[in-house]
Amino acid sequence: MVKDLKNGECFRLDHLIKAHLEKLCADKKTTAEQKAEYEDIVVKLDGMTKDEMNAVLRRFAIKSPTTGNDLSDAIEFNLMFSTCIGPSGLVKGYLRPETAQGIFVNFKRLLEFNQGRLPFAAAQIGNAFRNEISPRSGLIRVREFTMAEIEHFVDPSDKAHPKFASVKNLEMVLYSACNQMDGQPAQKITIGHAVEKGLVANETLGYFLARIQLFLERVGVDPARLRFRQHMSNEMAHYACDCWDAECKTSYGWVECVGCADRSCYDLSQHTKATGVRLVAEKPLPQPKTVDVVEALPNKAAIGKQFKKEAKPVSDALAALAAEQVDLLEKDLNEKGESEVAVGDSKVKITKDMVQVKRYQKTVHVDELVPGVIEPSFGIGRIMYAVFEHSFRVREGDEQRTYFSLPAAVAPLKCSVLPLSNNPDFAKFVQQISSALTQHDVAHKVDDSSGSIGRRYARTDEIAVPYGITVDFDTLREPHTATLRERDTMLQVRCPLEDLAPLVHDLVRGKITWDHVCSVYPKFEQQEVTKA
């Protein structure tokens, strides 16, 4: 973060540098060599240290974008929202920067729910909070946002995925860390080949990257404006061993919308370390084996006499010691007669009379392991923004007619029902069609307002309604029919009334295509019967 030296306004430095260099790249006076250099700096920006960013700031003499004043050197800023807990205000807390930790805290219950077997996954949707320095760009950078996260727990020694074969031939645009460092463009490659050559760390991570792409394309992201960028080693999160971002090209540039990280065993290990509760799974062994066991057995009477109310946490801390810690404890007790053991945030002295070290052998039929975690993390607001921008259209030859080409699966309303005019004879047919759509769980609206049919079509197009049913004068005669209109092509077909609701239902669910409908039903181009 940097500050305006005169008015104190704060700016996030990486965003400031990026905006400045992009402005220089757009300048017609910038040479091709300079442009390539500036683009290389932007690519490496996320991995720069504070000193490296300061050097860029001074080299390009970057000023405040709002006042033109000089800026301070970079200072570190914690993006976690801090707060005080309770009336005293002495206990500090933080609003969650991600939803994932709630799943890790409940790991034991989730594992039990899955009958103790790996792999398994849990999903959660909720709000997260980040104390952004300068929120801007609509839904792109905000302080409170909705996240949807999946935590897929897997055996760390076997990250194969049983469904990987179903996606291995999917072509994806991958922007690897090596290509970024070398100034090379992103490459199109099948996810199967990417995993095979080690570009993507393992099958499970590759499977989720492929599923992320399929999901984004289904909800309306333009495949030509979608890529997956790998984090470079110096920007990798402390918990990740491989991480990719699904980025969408928007008017704000490439925007990270989904992250997918192999978090390895970091989270469960840290929770175990902090709480003393062992968060592990069991893996059956092909053959039983004999293992050496070393345990610290607390003497509850001696501990109770010494520590009074704190006796239970001390006993629990001793019982939870790992074998290596017990060995160190025993060594200290033998050499010094006492040792220190961590209990919560403090350490307590343990003497020989408080603990007994027991060593023995036992036969085990399972191996304990700390599961690894693959985490896809979806930023709902950013995905929605990318979908809106990618699906915005203007009718050819009429710049005033705009519409959203949202896929039917995500359009809020799937169908509109429009009587051609306010003729009272149309009412019963409109009601019949509306009731049938409701029975088929098709969200729809009836637009019987005044105005020409063309104007009402335009109104429904503007709110992304993919299909429109029009009741006209041909509907009044038997067999009763109505027209079905598709938003993007504006083509219409004439269908029997009883076919309309199941037809729209199947179109929305993706069971059939509009091309199939056009091949089955006659196209409608003009009114066949007019009112006498």
483 SS3 class: strand
**Pairing verdict, β 415-419 and 467-471:** parallel
Provide the Cα torsion 442, 447, 453, 459; round to 10°.
Answer: -80
Return the closest-CA partner of residue 354 out of 312, 389, 303, 419: 303
Distance between CA atoms of 361 and 330, rounded to whole angstroms?
Answer: 18
Token look-up 């050097």 returns 55
pLDDT of residue 528: 40
Q: Which two tokens stand for residue 491?
A: 């083509």
**Please, are residues 471 and 428 in contact by the beta-carbon 8 Å criterion?**
no
Instruction: Report the C-alpha gap between 173 and 299 in whole angstroms.
Output: 61
A 10 A CB-CB count for 32 gives 7
Strands (E), 344-480: 346-351, 355-369, 372-379, 392-394, 402-404, 415-419, 444-446, 467-471
C-alpha angle 113-238-17 in degrees, rounded to nearest 5: 130
**Which of 412, 409, 439 is CA-nearest to residue 511?**
409
H-assigned helices in 365-496: 380-391, 427-439, 453-462
The secondary structure element, H or E, covering residue 317 is: helix 311-319
Radius of gyration of the chain (CA): 31
Instruction: To the nearest 10°, report the CA torsion of 140, 410, 464, 143.
Output: -20
- State the DSSP H helix or E strand holding residue 14, giving kind and residue range, or none if neither: helix 13-26
Counted residue by residue, the chain has a size of 532
pLDDT tens per residue, the chain (532 residues)? 888 888 888 888 888 888 888 888 888 888 888 888 888 888 778 778 888 888 888 888 888 888 888 888 888 888 888 888 888 888 888 889 888 888 999 999 999 999 989 999 999 999 999 888 877 777 888 888 999 999 999 999 899 999 999 999 999 999 998 988 888 899 999 999 999 999 998 999 999 999 999 999 999 999 999 999 999 877 777 777 889 999 999 998 899 999 999 988 888 988 888 887 888 888 888 888 888 888 888 888 888 888 888 888 888 888 878 788 888 888 888 888 888 888 877 788 888 888 888 888 888 888 888 999 999 999 999 999 999 999 999 998 888 899 999 999 999 999 999 999 888 999 999 999 999 999 999 999 999 888 889 899 999 999 999 999 999 999 999 899 999 999 999 999 999 999 999 999 999 999 999 999 999 999 988 644 434 3
Per-residue buried b or exposed e for 37-60, using 16+ beta carbons within 10 Å of the residue's own CB: bbeebbbbbbbbeeeebbebbeee
pLDDT score, position 266: 87
Reduced 3-state DSSP string for 30-74:
CCHHHHHHHHHHHHHHHHCCHHHHHHHHHHCCCCCCCCCCCECCC
Would you call the peptide bond into 119 cis, given omega within 30 degrees of 0 as the criterion?
yes
In the prediction, which pLDDT does 35 show?
Answer: 86
E-assigned strands of 61-119?
82-85, 91-94
At 453, list the tokens: 């049919």
CA atoms within 13 A on the CB side of 215: 15
> Tokens representing 249?
């090209």
Report the DSSP beta bridge partners of residue 172: 189
Q: How far is CA 401 from its chain centroid?
A: 33
Nearest to 311 by CA among 358, 259, 368, 355: 355
Phi and psi at 70, nearest 5°, equal -65, 155
Q: Quick one: pLDDT at residue 531?
A: 40
Supply the pLDDT for residue 77.
Answer: 80
Domains of the chain, earliest start first: 2-59 (3.30.40.230), 93-267+373-380 (3.30.930.10), 289-361 (3.30.720.200), 409-520 (3.40.50.800)
Q: For the packed helices 380-391 and 203-219, what is the interaxial angle rounded to 10 degrees?
A: 50
- pLDDT tens digit sequence for 85-128: 888 888 888 889 888 888 999 999 999 999 989 999 999 999 99
Task: Check residue 247 and report its DSSP letter.
Answer: E
Taking a C-beta distance cutoff of 8 angstroms, is the pair 2, 71 a contact?
yes
pLDDT at residue 2, rounded to an integer: 87
Cα–Cα distance list, 65 to 30, 57, 69, 77 (Å): 20, 13, 8, 20
